[in-house]
């Protein structure tokens, strides 16, 4: 069991009611932190976490959620921007609306959330930002022009933030999961899942907790000198990019 974080911190995870976000929340809880998660409905987070309603495409709902979290747990010290969606379609069939919707949730949603927690991190002269991207952001994937664009954009955010705020005790990193066993991948046709499994050197999809461990490490004191990094958790799928 590793936990290099010495004091309980106020942690916010967007999209923490299921899948990878929930697993990340459970891992922070296991380490003794004060954990808040968002979901659009405001229900469904893990036991021990504060679950608040927030839609990352709606700035007002994020403002209200962050106020609630700060009242309960204090200023947010660790942000995990995890909320994300897919809307796959080959480019010729992809509508402008589909492209914009995916970008608005996955990329602009992360921007909106980071912007709303960064002031208190700057005041505290410390903070941890972890953006959940995807192997697809750098590797590409047919039918995911919208999703790949949103996920590679997160790397730009982390690296620009690192240059802006690196001297203030704030780190910003990206975790790039490969195929993880969640509702998002269970929705893929069985045949496609098998094709992906064959392409992954590890030969399997990951358990969400394998992503969560990388996130808690990046949030720890031990990771103070890691910033602007892209950490793959993909069984070797994206190796070399
Ligand atoms: P799930 O579909 O299981 O969960 C997605 C989460 O995002 C839910 O908690 C959902 O909450 C939340 N969410 C979606 N839209 C919004 C929104 N507009 N505002 C607030 N919350 C929202 O996905 P995963 O757990 O599989 O994925 C989590 C992250 O990991 C995503 O960013 C995804 O792109 C990324 N990822 C996943 C991989 C995988 O193989 N599963 C691989 C690589 C990256 P609710 O709908 O209840 O509001």
Instruction: Report ipTM (2 d.p.).
Output: 0.99
Say if CB 52 and CB 70 are below 8 A apart: no
**pLDDT tens readout for residues 107-144:** 999 999 999 999 999 999 999 999 999 999 999 999 99
Enter the pTM of the model. Answer: 0.97
Residue 85 CA to ligand 1 center (angstroms) comes to 5
> Does residue 147 have an active-site annotation?
yes
Would you say the CB of residue 14 lies under 6 angstroms from ligand 1? yes
Q: Quick one: how far is CA 63 from the chain centroid?
A: 19
pLDDT computed for residue 5 by the predictor? 52
Residues with Cβ within 8 Å of 34's Cβ and at least 6 positions away in sequence, in order, are 8, 9, 10, 11, 50, 72, 73, 74
Interval 27-85: pLDDT, tens: 999 999 999 999 999 999 999 999 999 999 999 999 999 999 999 999 999 999 999 99
Nearest CA, atom 12, ligand 1: 15
Note the pLDDT tens digit of each residue in 148-191.
999 999 999 999 999 999 999 999 999 999 999 988 888 888 99
What region, left, alpha or beta, does residue 113 occupy, with left being phi > 0 and alpha being psi -120 to 50 degrees? alpha
Nearest residue to 33 via CA among 69, 83, 84, 65: 69
Q: Could you tell me the fold of the domain covering 10-228? A: Rossmann fold (3.40.50)
């Amino acid at each position: 069991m590793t936990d290099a974080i010495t004091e309980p911190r106020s942690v916010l995870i967007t999209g923490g009611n299921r899948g990878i976000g929930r697993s990340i929340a459970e891992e922070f809880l296991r380490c003794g932190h004060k954990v808040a998660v968002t979901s659009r409905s405001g229900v469904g987070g893990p036991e021990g976490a504060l679950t608040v309603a927030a839609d990352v495409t709606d700035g007002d709902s994020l403002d209200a959620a962050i106020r609630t979290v700060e009242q309960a747990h204090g200023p947010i010290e660790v942000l995990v921007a995890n909320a994300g969606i897919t809307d796959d379609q080959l480019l010729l069939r992809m509508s402008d609306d589909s492209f914009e919707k995916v970008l608005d949730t996955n990329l602009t949603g992360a921007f909106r959330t980071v912007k709303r927690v960064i002031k208190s991190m700057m005041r505290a002269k410390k903070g941890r930002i972890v953006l959940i991207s995807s192997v697809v952001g750098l590797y590409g994937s047919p039918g995911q022009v919208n999703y790949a664009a949103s996920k590679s954009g997160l790397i730009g955010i982390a690296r620009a933030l690192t240059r802006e705020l690196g001297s203030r005790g704030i780190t910003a990193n990206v975790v790039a999961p490969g195929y993880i066993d969640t509702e998002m991948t269970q929705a893929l046709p069985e045949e496609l899942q098998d094709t992906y499994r064959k392409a992954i050197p590890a030969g399997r999809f990951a358990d969400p907790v394998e992503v969560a461990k990388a996130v808690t490490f990046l949030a720890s004191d031990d990771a103070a000198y890691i910033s602007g990094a892209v950490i793959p958790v993909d069984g070797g799928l994206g190796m070399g990019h």
